[in-house]
Amino acid sequence: MNKFVTTNIRLPKEDLIAYRQMAIASGKSFSQLVREALAQFNHPVEISQNASKKYPDFWEIEKVAVSGGPKDGSTKHDKYIY
């Protein structure tokens, strides 16, 4: 059983039409076309396992915030989350 989740991407209308036409021409769904295009990059699980951890994971932020955390957390929260 596939464990797909739904996500949204924003594309210019002309690009979307062209990508859908490409998918039809290749006998694939638009979703499959996108998955194959993304597969050209390193797999995100491999990236996250190999990357050095500079910032806490999203779900660990509560632990950092409760224990004091960085003093600039309210203004640079995007830096610490992403």
The DSSP output letter for 68 is -
Q: Give the domain extent around 82.
A: 54-82
pLDDT at 24: 94
Query: Are 60 and 81 found together in one domain?
Result: yes
Dihedral sign, Cα of residue 72, residue 74, residue 76, residue 81:
positive
- pLDDT tens, position by position, 7-43: 899 999 999 999 999 999 999 999 999 988 888 876 6
Same domain, 62 and 46: no
Spatial separation of the C-alpha atoms in residues 25 and 27, rounded to whole Å: 6
Radius of gyration of the chain (CA): 19
Q: How many domains does the chain have?
A: 2
- Sorted by sequence, the CB contacts under 8 Å of residue 61 that are 6+ apart come out as 69, 80, 81
The one-letter amino acid code at 45 reads V
Does the structure show a pLDDT above 60 at 51? no
